[in-house]
């Protein structure tokens, strides 16, 4: 079979270039947008995804990890009664006001009080054992390296949280927060910083490690509904992380904005691509009409156009992949929160190929004007 | 006696009529025209532009339906076929050569000729061999790997003829095949069309107002205002080459 679609594409690549660029850029925009959304809203759950806990226990109905309320510390005993639970760590999360040494005004910070022991569950994936050991020092805090300028402080410098002096003992990476700045401290320091008399030093969450993490779902179900120790709810780490991200994505309106933008990108890409393909088909109309005169069916000619559209999509995507990989690497280097996973990448690829196919179908409509009798006049 | 006139004609039109509407005006191009075209001959329809000769070609080749009357090609009534059946009929039986060569810029001469053969369901090797034979026949075996941009006008038209010929059609239609060519190239195309009719027994119907063609046709139909003014046979009817009724 003569590869008419492919050979025409190669020979007249200039004619198809705008379509390839349109598909490529549409794909790239969707991909980067998805990576940013996952990265930014993913940071809402950094407390969970940066830690090793299998179960999170918090106040009933908590919609996102940053909206927790203090729970009874005695629930820890209830959790430890379950044979599947090997250890439980308290986690204190509180809103606070930061005043840097230089004149940066007030800054809203989220203090995470954790157990600094080397094998602690919380932030096990974000902090090295030596770094977390520095939190044993009273009033010691760790911040993200991307936030250090904003906080107006250097390593070793001091600042005030809720009027209490703290000292920055180190910086980490990948701990940027949504709508504020994450500050890590020991549980003891966090209790010092908590000015809410109602909290009374109680933890916001209890985080449990399990003997077999694969059993997390079953254990969480088993631990629910026991009110003897006061109100609490149990989520698996995965479920609680997803709950937090979805809250930010959809209950804040940001997700709707992103979806709207994705729709616009798709529409603009489809318009440009289909117009280019229509023009390319129109340019070969006499040749297609001749083939039709020779008895090659319109259906077969449609396949040629659709094949061309899919090649345009594939080539555009190939370009987008190269450029996208470079841009994502640059973003990571600049501490821009970007995250990409396989399902989302595949969804973007399917979307871009769908865009090319839709444009191809639009171009196919113009084949209806292929009337071989018109060649005789 | 086995006179060719007694055999069934390859193409037959019975009282065909065709009109085109352009806005409010309606132009009757053909009105009650009847004619028969025989196999193994190069038949030329000539006449001034607008006389209806291209419309007649489009109708006889199954590219356009008639308003009234009946058209038979190789014994099949074309006026009774739907679009898909007409496409199939054309694929099996007809070749076309147009004034513009209509070659795909991206394909080599060999690929241009091979392309329609692919849709006939031939194997890759068969299609390749048949295309090569066809290009040899028009004297282009040494130019097979070239793309249209590297070929002269005459060569392009010969590729177009090879493309039409490769399917080994019983009917070959040519519309002004020489009008874009100089004298020597035009002559060569005429000779090829003539040879196809005589060697393959193909029914070659050619529409042209090129006076150079007239001397080479077996039969010349002069048309004006949708009617046939004269029907001259320039050479005695040929014995048909194995193409029976």
Between B94, B115, B175, which is nearest A2 by CB?
B115
Question: CB contacts < 8 Å between A and B, how many?
Answer: 90
Lowest mean pLDDT of A28-32, A166-170, A368-372, B147-151, name the range.
A368-372
When scoring B87, B120, B132 by the number of chain A Cβ atoms within 10 A, the one with the most, hence best to mutate, is B87
3-state SS, residue B108: coil
Q: Do B116 and A297 touch (CB under 8 A)?
A: no
Q: What token pair was written down for A235?
A: 């989520």
Adjacency order of strands within the sheet including B76-77: B25-37, B11-22, B68-73, B76-77
- Half-sphere exposure (CA, 13 Å, Cβ side) for A15? 18
User: Can you tell me the distance from the alpha carbon of A236 to that of A220, in angstroms, rounded to the nearest whole number?
Assistant: 6
- Give the other-Cβ count within 10 Å of A340's Cβ: 18
DSSP string, B13-66: EEEEEEEEEETTEEEEEEEEEEEEE-TTSEEEEE--TTSSHHHHHHHHTTSS--
Q: In this predicted structure, what is the pLDDT of residue A336? A: 82
Between A7, A12, A294, which is nearest B116 by CB?
A294
What residues in B contact A297, CB-CB < 8 Å? 84, 87, 91, 119
Rg (alpha carbons) of chain A, rounded to whole number: 28
Q: What are A200-223's pLDDT values in tens digits?
A: 889 999 999 999 999 999 999 988
Q: Do B102 and A375 touch (CB under 8 A)?
A: yes
Check pLDDT > 80 for residue A370: no
Q: In this predicted structure, what is the pLDDT of residue B216? A: 85
User: Can you tell me the distance from the alpha carbon of A201 to that of A186, in angstroms, rounded to the nearest whole number?
Assistant: 13
Q: What are A71-83's pLDDT values in tens digits?
A: 999 999 999 999 9
Q: What are A252-262's pLDDT values in tens digits?
A: 777 788 888 88
DSSP string, A176-223: --SSSEEEEEEHHHHHHH---TTTTT--SEEEEEESSGGGHHHHHHHH
What residues in A contact B106, CB-CB < 8 Å? 4, 7-8, 10-12
Query: In which band, very low, low, confident or very high, does the pLDDT at B236 lie, cut at 50, 70 and 90?
Result: low
- Tell me the shortest Cα–Cα distance from B6 to chain A, in angstroms: 30
Closest residue on chain B to A301 (Cα):
B119
Share of chain A above pLDDT 70, in %: 99
Of B20, B16, B68, B158, the residue nearest A371 (C-alpha): B20
- What is the predicted ipTM? 0.89
Q: Do B164 and A1 touch (CB under 8 A)?
A: no
DSSP string, B172-210: EEEESTTTTS-HHHHHHHHHHHHHHHHHH--EEEEE---
Q: Do B98 and A376 touch (CB under 8 A)?
A: yes
Q: Which of residues 187-216 of B touch A (CB under 8 A)?
A: 207
Closest residue on chain A to B109 (Cα):
A2
According to DSSP, residue B239 is labeled: P
Closest residue on chain A to B55 (Cα):
A376
* Contact present, A205 and A243 (Cβ < 8 Å): no
Q: Which residues contact A118 (CB under 8 A, 6 or more apart)?
A: A129, A132, A133
When scoring B106, B117, B118, B164 by the number of chain A Cβ atoms within 10 A, the one with the most, hence best to mutate, is B106
Per the DSSP assignment, residues forming a β-bridge with B197 are none
Q: In this predicted structure, what is the pLDDT of residue A196? A: 84
**3-class SS letters over A308-352:** HHHHHHHHHHHHHHHHHHHHHHHHHHCCCCCCCCHHHHHHHHHHH
User: Can you tell me the distance from the alpha carbon of A321 to that of A346, in angstroms, rounded to the nearest whole number?
Assistant: 12
What residues in B contact A289, CB-CB < 8 Å? 102
Q: At what angle do helices A13-42 and A237-250 cross, to 10 degrees?
A: 120
Which ranges in chain A belong to alpha helices (H)?
4-11, 13-42, 46-49, 75-80, 129-133, 187-193, 216-223, 237-250, 254-283, 285-293, 298-333, 342-366
User: Can you tell me the distance from the alpha carbon of B132 to that of B121, in angstroms, rounded to the nearest whole number?
Assistant: 17
What residues in B contact A373, CB-CB < 8 Å? 58, 63-64
* Contact present, A305 and A366 (Cβ < 8 Å): no
Check pLDDT > 80 for residue A232: yes
Q: Do A287 and B163 touch (CB under 8 A)?
A: no
Q: In this predicted structure, what is the pLDDT of residue B170? A: 94
DSSP string, B58-102: HHHTTSS--SEEEEEETTEEGGG--HHHHHHHHHHHEEEE-SS--
H/E segment holding residue B221 = strand B219-224
Lowest mean pLDDT of A101-115, A135-149, B70-84, name the range.
A101-115
Q: In this predicted structure, what is the pLDDT of residue B5? A: 45
Q: What are A338-350's pLDDT values in tens digits?
A: 888 888 889 889 9
Across chain A, what does the average pLDDT equal? 89
When scoring A1, A2, A292 by the number of chain B Cβ atoms within 10 A, the one with the most, hence best to mutate, is A2
Flag whether residue B241 sits within 8 Å of chain A, measured between CB atoms: no
Provide mean pLDDT across the span B115-144. 93
Q: Do A294 and B96 touch (CB under 8 A)?
A: yes
Flag whether residue B91 sits within 8 Å of chain A, measured between CB atoms: yes
Closest residue on chain B to A286 (Cα):
B102
């Amino acid at each position: 079979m003569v590869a008419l679609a492919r050979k025409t594409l190669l020979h007249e690549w200039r004619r198809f270039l705008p379509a390839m660029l349109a598909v490529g850029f549409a794909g790239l925009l969707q991909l980067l947008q998805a990576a940013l959304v996952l990265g930014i809203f993913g940071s809402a759950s950094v407390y969970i995804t940066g830690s090793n806990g299998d179960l999170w226990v918090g106040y009933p109905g908590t919609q996102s990890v940053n909206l927790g309320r203090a729970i009874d510390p005695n629930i820890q005993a209830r959790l430890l009664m379950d044979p599947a639970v090997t250890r439980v760590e308290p986690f204190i999360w509180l809103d606070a006001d930061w005043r840097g040494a230089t004149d940066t005004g007030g800054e809203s910070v989220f203090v995470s009080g954790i157990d600094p022991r080397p094998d602690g569950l919380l932030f096990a994936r974000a902090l090295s054992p030596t770094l977390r050991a520095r939190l044993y020092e009273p009033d010691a805090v760790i911040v993200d390296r991307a936030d250090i300028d904003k906080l107006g402080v250097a390593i070793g410098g001091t600042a005030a949280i809720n009027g209490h002096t703290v000292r920055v003992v180190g910086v980490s990476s990948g701990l940027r927060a949504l709508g504020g700045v994450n500050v890590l401290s020991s549980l003891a320091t966090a209790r010092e910083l908590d000015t809410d008399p109602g909290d009374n030093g109680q933890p916001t969450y209890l985080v449990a490690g399990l003997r077999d993490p694969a059993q997390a779902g079953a254990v969480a179900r088993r631990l629910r509904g026991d009110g003897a120790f006061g109100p609490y709810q149990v989520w698996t780490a995965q479920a609680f992380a997803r709950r937090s991200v979805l809250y930010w994505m959809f209950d804040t309106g940001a997700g709707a904005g992103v979806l709207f933008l994705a729709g616009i990108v798709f529409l603009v890409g489809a318009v440009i691509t289909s117009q280019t393909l229509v023009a390319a088909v129109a340019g070969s109309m006499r040749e297609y009409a001749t083939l039709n005169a020779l008895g090659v069916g319109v259906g077969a000619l449609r396949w040629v156009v659709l094949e061309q559209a899919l090649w345009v999509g594939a080539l555009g995507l190939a370009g987008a992949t190269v450029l996208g990989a470079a841009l994502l690497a640059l973003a990571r280097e600049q501490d821009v929160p970007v995250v990409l996973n396989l399902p989302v990448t595949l969804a973007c690829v399917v979307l871009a190929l769908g865009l090319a196919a839709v444009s191809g179908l639009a171009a196919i409509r113009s084949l209806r004007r292929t009337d071989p009798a018109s060649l005789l006049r | 006696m086995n006179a060719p006139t007694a055999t069934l004609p390859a193409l037959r039109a019975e009282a065909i009529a065709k009109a085109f509407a352009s806005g409010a005006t309606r132009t009757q191009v053909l009105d009650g025209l009847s004619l028969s075209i025989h196999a193994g001959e190069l038949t030329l329809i000539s006449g001034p532009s607008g006389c209806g000769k291209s419309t007649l070609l489009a109708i006889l080749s199954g590219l356009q339906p008639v308003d009234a009357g009946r058209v038979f090609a190789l014994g099949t009534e074309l006026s009774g076929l739907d679009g898909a059946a007409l496409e199939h009929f054309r694929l099996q039986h007809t070749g076309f050569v147009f004034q513009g060569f209509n070659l795909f810029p991206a394909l080599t001469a060999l690929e241009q000729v091979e392309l329609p053969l692919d849709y006939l369901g031939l194997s890759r090797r068969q299609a390749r061999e048949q295309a090569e034979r066809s290009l040899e026949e028009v004297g282009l075996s040494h130019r097979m790997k070239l793309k249209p941009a590297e070929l002269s006008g005459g060569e392009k038209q010969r590729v177009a003829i090879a493309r039409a010929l490769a399917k080994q059609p019983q009917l070959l239609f040519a519309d002004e095949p020489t009008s874009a060519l100089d004298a020597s190239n035009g002559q060569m195309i005429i000779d090829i069309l003539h040879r196809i009719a005589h060697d393959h027994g193909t029914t070659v119907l050619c529409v042209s107002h090129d006076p150079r063609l007239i001397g080479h046709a077996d039969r010349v139909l002069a048309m004006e205002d949708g009617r046939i003014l004269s029907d001259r046979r320039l050479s005695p009817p040929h014995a048909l080459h194995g193409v029976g009724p």
